[in-house]
Amino acid sequence: MKLTNRAKPIDNSPMTVAERLYIPAIANGMGITLKHFFKKKATINYPEVQRPFSPVFRGLHVLKRDEQGRERCTACGLCAVACPAEAITMTAAERKKGEEHLYREEKYAAEYEINMLRCIFCGLCEEACPKAAIFLQPDKIAPAFYERDEVIFGKDRLVEKMDDRATTGIEKYTGVKS
């Protein structure tokens, strides 16, 4: 069975004197290594120089607020349904009178948890969301964990802070700033 066209037939013919001297081959090889010695290095000095993220990078999740600072999520559960890793769980609650400045819709997520060990960062939750509430940020990486109880991210860590608005990457699709 021929898998590739790169197979090289074995040559068992006796070596010539030039080949048995090794020196031409060694000189050839040393020329190659010397050429690499002066080549541009492939390494990027990481903490000082950072490679830009891909524009479609899917990083840490964020639950967006709208322009007035109200949570957009209405706890419809479509993200949880869409999630192939079943990483999202939520509890819905009804908005009380006087909470209109906190929640945009009449129903909201009282609890919203993402298990970061289960999440595969596929972005299907982002696509499923009808309220443009959940996004995978294009500029933030999910942090590393030191303890097992750190891996479930609740609303305290997911909901966007008003003084530090998150980039959603939605501009790249719509041209509209979120």
Q: Residue 19 or residue 86: which is nearer to other proteins going by CB?
A: 19
Measured distance CA(11)–CA(167) in Å, rounded: 60
Residue 169 buriedness (CB in 10 A; 0-12 / 13-18 / 19+): buried
Site string for other proteins, 1-40 (x = CB under 8 A): ----xx-xx-x-x--xxx--x-x--x--xx-xxx-xxxxx
Q: Which of 1, 45, 67, 148 binds other proteins (CB under 8 A)?
A: 45
Beta-strand relationship, 107-115 and 61-63: unpaired
β-partners of residue 69 are: none
Smallest distance from the beta carbon of 121 to other proteins, in angstroms? 30
Smallest distance from the beta carbon of 53 to other proteins, in angstroms? 23
Q: Residue 5 or residue 68: which is nearer to other proteins going by CB?
A: 5
Smallest distance from the beta carbon of 1 to other proteins, in angstroms? 16
Cβ within 8 Å of residue 33, ≥6 positions away = none
- 51 touching other proteins, by CB under 8 A: no
Q: Residue 29 or residue 143: which is nearer to other proteins going by CB?
A: 29
Nearest to 136 by CA among 53, 59, 52: 59
Interior CA angle at 67 toward 93 and 127, to 5°? 65
Q: 3-class DSSP state for residue 81?
A: helix
Give the binding site for other proteins (CB under 8 A): 5-6, 8-9, 11, 13, 16-18, 21, 23, 26, 29-30, 32-34, 36-43, 45
